[in-house]
Structure 1
Amino acid sequence: MNIQPALEILRARAPFVPDLALVLGSGLGALAGCAEAKAGVSIPFTDLGFPVQTVQGHQGKLIFCELEGRKVVLQAGRFHFYEGNPMSLVTAPMRMHARLGVKAVVHTNAAGAVNAAFKVGQLMVINDHINLMGTNPLIGPNQEPGPRFQDMTSAYDPALSAQILASAKALGQEVQQGVYLAVTGPSFETPAEIRAFRTLGADAVGMSTVPEVIVARHEGMRAAGISCLCNMAAGMLPQPLTHAEVLEAGAAAAASFEQLVRTFLRDLAL
């Protein structure tokens, strides 16, 4: 898709070029309601010509504000592949952030814990991913100046990830590290699939983030990822999975997540 019209609107309305973009996933949107965000500049996705968000827990707007002395843009919501959106729309915010001048992005999401040692409500720093979405957002004509064949050896920036872990340690938070596996959804996974994913080396499973990280790297931005483990994956507990459970667990983790983000921003050296 052509993002130029949206980018021109964004450039005209953005009050500054942010140091960092923060994508708020399901259940983690409460940060968009903090005092600094309320005092910032809010731009709904619909003002940029994008469709209305359809998933509960995604507000669908960009918020330019200062947090802990950092100029940031909060992306309150994302476009999902399972909503029927093309990959070009799913990843359009990443291309806009980069072309606005953003150098780094932290992706957050709700995920199911595949690793039996993990607990519901914990945060997991993503150190790698497995793409089982059946497609790649770079398919098609190459969008220069990104390379035709994007290296993904260190998709998740080691220094950014280390800073998130250091911030968690300073707060006394128990934060996990692991591999995030992406599927299309919107159905939750079967117990057999979860057993297969565990064999593949996955620690958590979700329905987003991976295409955005690929495009963020293609655009030259540094990337980091944090998953909120909102449920144990299918078959690990007797009860069925629901989206309400995801939102509830995200809300329960909201305070510790905001603490972690604020400490990370305060201590971050870009």
Structure 2
Amino acid sequence: MTMTLEKSKQYIQNKIKEKPDFGFLLLGSQFDKLIEEIENPICISYEEIPIFSKKNLYGKFVFGKIEDKNVVFLVEPLYEENRKNNLTVVLLCKNIGIEKLILINISGGINPNYKMGDVMLVKDHINFFPENSNIKEFITKNRFFEVIEPYDRKMIEIAENIAMNHNIIIQKGVYVAYPYSNYKTYAEYAMIRSMGGDSIGIDVISDVIIARCMNLRVFSISIIIMGFDKKKYDEHNNSYFFKTFFDKEIGKTISLLRLIVKEFVKLCK
């Protein structure tokens, strides 16, 4: 693992020449538009990199500059196999010099005050996923570790100020990672909400834990796709209508997200 990690680091450094300041982990093809903010992009697919070459993973690193700062966007599809290898991805980020990791994904709203397309800054999380043995072993080898404050308060404050200055309505909530993606019952939604959850989605919490274990600063944004409202659910259950509505609302949000990301990179030190 150590030798392959070093080879992968060297391979990337030979391509990009400069150390990236920010790493953006984009989970889902909806965020491809964010890549357009990068100047002089250099794209490296996972398949090219030694540490990923035999794992049949899909994804890409896109290196370049935003606001004269070096950034890399890690663009990943939401395949389960990719998510099982998040230890490797975050390890590689650390090894190529990234100090700030920003995660962006989509989640379902639990908070009744949330609506489709809302931007939620993650202030804390609840994890229902079973413990990954690889991650447990990695953390145990490194040091005793507790996740007390996983999300960087200063980074959250910067994003809040950007939103306020541009009159962008944002939410700040608790992200719940749930181990299966099918629809939940009313009782399950009620349980999650009673625990303090505001949105529910896939396992990005493992990425957060690994990153914090390696002393990376972490910031996370989740785009809300729909709150759990019976009337809205029935209305949007028509797949064509839902897709049209989804594309329209998410399209608006991505435009706002591009603005937030650009200013965030400029202001965050």
| SS of equivalent to 2:38 | helix
Aligned equivalent of 1:130, options 108, 126, 129: 126
In structure 2, the CA distance between the partners of 1:143 and 1:250, relative to structure 1 (3 Å rule), is farther
Q: RMSD of the alignment, in Å?
A: 2.5
TM-score of the two chains, using structure 2 as the length reference = 0.85
CA contact (8 A) 2:112 2:228 kept: no
249-258 vs 196-205, which moves further: 249-258
* Residue 103 (structure 1) shift: 0.7
- Rounded to whole Å, the distance in 1 between the matches of 2:205 and 2:222 is 12
Distance 1:43 1:176, change over 3 A: same
Separation in 2 of the partners of 1:155 and 1:162?
A: 14
Q: Among residues 29, 33, 37, which one is paired with 2:32 in the alignment?
A: 29
How far apart in 1 are the matches of 2:99 and 2:154?
14
Worse-superposed segment, 199-208 or 9-18: 9-18
Aligned residues: 256
* Alignment deviations for residues 51-102 of structure 1 (CA, whole Å, 9 cap, x no partner): 243xxxxxx211111001211111112565xx24573x12321111111111
Shift of 1:224: 0.5
C-alpha distance in 2 between matches for 1:111 and 1:237: 16
For 1:108 and 1:235, locate their aligned partners in 2 and report how far apart those are by CA, in whole Å.
Answer: 27
Report what 2:71 is aligned to: 72
Cα distance in 1 between the residues matched to 2:225 and 2:27: 12
Q: Is the 8 A contact 1:122 1:176 kept in 2?
A: yes
Aligned match of 1:56: none
- Contact 1:110–1:250 (CA<8 Å) still a contact in 2? no
Alignment of 1:191-230 (within 5 A): 191-230=186-225
Alignment check: 8 A CA contact 2:116 2:226 kept: yes
* Secondary structure of 1:28 counterpart: helix
2:23 and 2:108 map into 1 onto residues whose CA distance is 24
1:46 maps to which residue?
47
**Separation in structure 1 between the aligned mates of residue 60 and residue 229 of structure 2, nearest angstrom:** 32
Asked if the contact 1:231–1:245 (Cα under 8 Å) also holds between the matched residues in 2, the reply is: no
Match of 1:57 in 2: none
User: Partner of 1:176: helix, strand, or coil?
Assistant: strand
1:223-238, aligned counterparts within 5 Å? 223-233=218-228, 235=230, 237-238=232-233
Q: Which residue does the alignment assign to 1:262?
A: 262
Give the whole-Å Cα distance in 1 for the aligned partners of 2:245 and 2:260.
Answer: 20
* Counterpart-to-counterpart distance in 2, 1:143 and 1:64: 32
If the length of structure 1 is used for normalisation, what is the TM-score?
0.85
Equivalent position to 2:89, from 90, 93, 102: 93
Query: Which segments of 5 or more consecutive residues in structure 2 lack a partner in the other structure?
Result: none
More helix by share: 2
Specify the alignment match of 2:157 in structure 1: 162
- Which 5+ residue runs of structure 1 have no aligned equivalent? 54-59
CA gap 1:263/1:181 in 2 versus in 1, 3 angstroms: same
